[in-house]
């Protein structure tokens, strides 16, 4: 026991620092009034002796605006130019990926060299593999010490911008410019949503296809009562969607052969007007995935096998969405 304790003391301070940094980030997010689902999911991990905050940037985000915002928050005010900020940028280009690192130009007075304990922001764009089809960019904030208040402001601001949809990009116009490789999966998203809507499925969660308010009005506070049901949904459905690794860790530790134990469905029962559809929309909003509302009449048919085929088409089209979706079968 003494030997085990001695071995774990080196990693303990860094792990404690990671937990504290995650708490600081969440407190700043809550103080900004950012609702779950309005920003991408992020991870706070340990890489060597450094704390790493990592999140994916969806294809609908304006990446140039995000980089300008990062430089404005993290960079130093330019002295020789009229306004603007300065930052050190390094770039790597290969057939597999493109990478950019941003470093604040902090130098020591004696040597003029960059300080090794400063913040490093890595912007990674995979060009091959499964990650390329889901999210075109990945951003990492790397630092061997605590983030400063200014750096946390830049991180939370980047999360907020990453969760916003750019009108030009989401409308598909950007996919016709240049080679089209970076946005080659965007037309398929629009086609998938269009095919679903042609079937009669209402898709919530995309600005250009739905009437879901983006000002945070889709939340539990706007549904009165049902406190026990809300807590049960958060502990089962939402927890499995937002932190699937918790369920995977439990399954690996309690089963001889790994098999996922995440809940796959939830049944709402009650008369009309009791909040069943509203609860499903809150789940989709907080999980950050679109909601596919499927009325019963669009899949029912008097012909043998037609109902099964229509329902199978809904699931097949939902699988084409990059982040998946929640299917709500009404009645």
Count up the domains in the chain and report the number. Answer: 2
Same domain, 123 and 23: yes
254 in the same domain as 131:
no
User: What is residue 107's DSSP assignment?
Assistant: B
Predicted local confidence at residue 128, as pLDDT? 67
Q: What percent of the chain is helix, strand and coil (3-state, nearest 5)?
A: 40, 20, 40
pLDDT tier at 75, thresholds 50, 70, 90 = confident
Residue 208 belongs to domain with CATH number: 3.40.50.300
Domain holding 258, by residue range, is 188-329
* Residues 249-295: tens digit of each pLDDT: 888 888 888 777 777 788 888 888 888 888 888 888 777 778 888 88
Q: In the chain, which ranges are E strands?
A: 42-47, 50-57, 76-77, 85-86, 88-93, 97-103, 120-126, 137-143, 202-204, 291-294, 326-329
Asked if the structure places residue 130 within a domain, the reply is: yes
Beta strand pairing status for 76-77 and 137-143?
Answer: unpaired
pTM of structure: 0.50
Both 236 and 296 in a single domain? yes
Q: Which two tokens stand for residue 217?
A: 């009005």
CB 186 within 8 A of CB 172: yes
Q: Give the count of beta carbons closer than 10 Å to the beta carbon of residue 217.
A: 11
Residues 142 and 248 in one domain: no
Tell me the per-residue pLDDT of 123-157, one tens digit each, with 9 for 90 and over. Answer: 988 776 544 445 678 899 998 888 888 888 989 99
Q: Are 114 and 103 within 8 A, CB to CB? A: yes
DSSP label at residue 238: I
The angle formed by the CA atoms of residues 313, 319 and 325, to the nearest 5 degrees, is 105
pLDDT > 70: percent of the chain: 77
pLDDT at 197 over 80: yes
pLDDT band at 8 (very low <50, low <70, confident <90, very high): very low
Q: Are strands 291-294 and 326-329 parallel, antiparallel or unpaired?
A: parallel
How far, in whole angstroms, is CA 25 from its chain's centroid? 15
Collapsed DSSP state (helix, strand, coil) of residue 88 = strand
278 in the same domain as 148: no
Query: Does a structural domain hold residue 2?
Result: no
Q: Where are the alpha helices (DSSP H) in 79-224?
A: 130-134, 149-162, 167-170, 186-199
User: 146, 163, 180: which is the final residue of a domain?
Assistant: 163
Kindly state whether residues 154 and 272 are assigned to the same domain. Answer: no
Would residue 147 count as lying in a domain?
Answer: yes
Residues 209 and 268 in one domain: yes
Helix, strand, or coil (residue 43): strand
What span, in angstroms and rounded, lies between the C-alpha atoms of 315 and 289?
15
Do 197 and 317 fall into the same domain? yes
In a domain, 179, yes or no: no
Check: CB of residue 210 under 8 Å from CB of residue 196: no
Instruction: Kindly state whether residue 169 falls inside one of the protein's structural domains.
Output: no
Does residue 171 belong to any structural domain of this protein? no
Residue 237 belongs to a domain = yes
Residues 322, 225, single domain; the answer is: yes
Distance of alpha carbon 50 from alpha carbon 46, whole angstroms: 6
Do 46 and 156 have their domain in common? yes
Tell me, yes or no, whether 196 and 242 share the same domain: yes
Note whether 39 and 147 are same-domain residues. yes
> Is 242 within the bounds of a domain?
yes
């Amino acid at each position: 026991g003494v030997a085990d304790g001695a071995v774990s003391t080196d990693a303990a301070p860094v792990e404690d620092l990671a937990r504290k940094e995650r708490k600081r980030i969440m407190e700043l997010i809550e103080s900004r009034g950012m609702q779950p689902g309005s920003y991408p999911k992020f991870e706070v991990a340990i890489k060597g002796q450094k704390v790493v905050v990592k999140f994916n940037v969806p294809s609908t985000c304006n990446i140039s605006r995000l980089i300008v915002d990062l430089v404005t928050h993290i960079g130093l005010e330019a002295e020789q130019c009229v306004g603007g900020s300065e930052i050190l940028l390094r770039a790597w280009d290969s057939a597999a990926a493109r990478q950019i690192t941003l470093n604040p130009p902090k130098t020591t007075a004696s040597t003029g060299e960059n300080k090794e304990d400063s913040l490093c922001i890595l912007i990674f764009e995979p060009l091959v593999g499964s990650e390329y089809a889901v999210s075109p960019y990945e951003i990492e904030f790397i630092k061997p010490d605590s983030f400063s208040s200014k750096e946390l402001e830049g991180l939370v601001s980047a999360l907020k911008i990453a969760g916003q949809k750019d009108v030009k990009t989401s409308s598909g116009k950007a996919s016709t410019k240049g080679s089209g490789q970076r946005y080659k999966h965007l037309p398929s998203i629009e086609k998938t949503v269009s095919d679903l809507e042609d079937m009669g499925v209402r898709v919530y969660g995309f600005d250009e296809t739905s009437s879901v308010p983006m000002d945070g009005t889709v939340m539990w506070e706007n549904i009165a009562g049902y406190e026990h049901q809300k807590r049960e949904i958060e502990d089962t459905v939402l927890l499995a969607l937002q932190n699937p690794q918790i369920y995977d860790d439990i399954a690996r530790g309690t089963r001889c052969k790994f098999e996922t134990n995440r809940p796959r469905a939830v049944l709402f029962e009650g008369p009309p007007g009791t909040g069943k559809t509203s609860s499903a929309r809150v789940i989709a909003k907080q999980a950050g995935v679109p909601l596919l509302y499927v009325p019963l009449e669009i899949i029912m048919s008097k012909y043998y096998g037609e109902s099964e085929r229509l329902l199978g088409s809904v699931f097949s089209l939902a699988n084409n969405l990059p982040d998946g979706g929640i299917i709500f079968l009404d009645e």
